[in-house]
Amino acid sequence: MFPFVIVLLAGLLLAGIISLMFSSERVAKGVVEEFYSHESDGDFADSWKLLHPFMKERFSKSAYVQDRTHVFIGHFGAETFTYTIDDGEKLEGWKMEKGRSPFETAYKYHVSQHYKGKYGKFSFQQDVYVTQNEEGEWQILWDYNQ
């Protein structure tokens, strides 16, 4: 009986660890990390791939890459940046913009981007949202509510 209890407890502990590793919030934050890793490297084509289809309706891939390159590298003279991501907040029924259906679940992360460029040091702050697309993949959205 004693070995059975040890095996059962070890199994429950392992299941708990695996559950934490693959929790929705952890996966969502990983997408934000990946997105900003690409952005800070100037790899805007790969960051675009992580945008939710609603975002891709707003920006074609080529327009997104051109805009990000033009603004951040061209105007600000920043070739790379560092970033911090605050802890996430789970939201239910969040909408990206008026007229859209709400998402069942989304995670909100406050991201700060820190640049050094031709105009000195500066930072941008933005709330970033992550929710699942129709295929169940977690993807990035921004808030367009007035």
Q: What is the pLDDT of residues 50-92, one digit of tens each?
A: 999 999 999 999 999 999 988 887 877 887 789 999 999 999 9
Chain-centre distance of CA 19, in angstroms? 20
Please tell me the pTM assigned to this model.
0.81
For the stretch 58-73, what's the b/e string if a residue is b when 16 or more beta carbons lie within 10 angstroms of its beta carbon? eeeeeebbeebeeebe
- d(CA 86, CA 8) in angstroms, rounded, equals 36
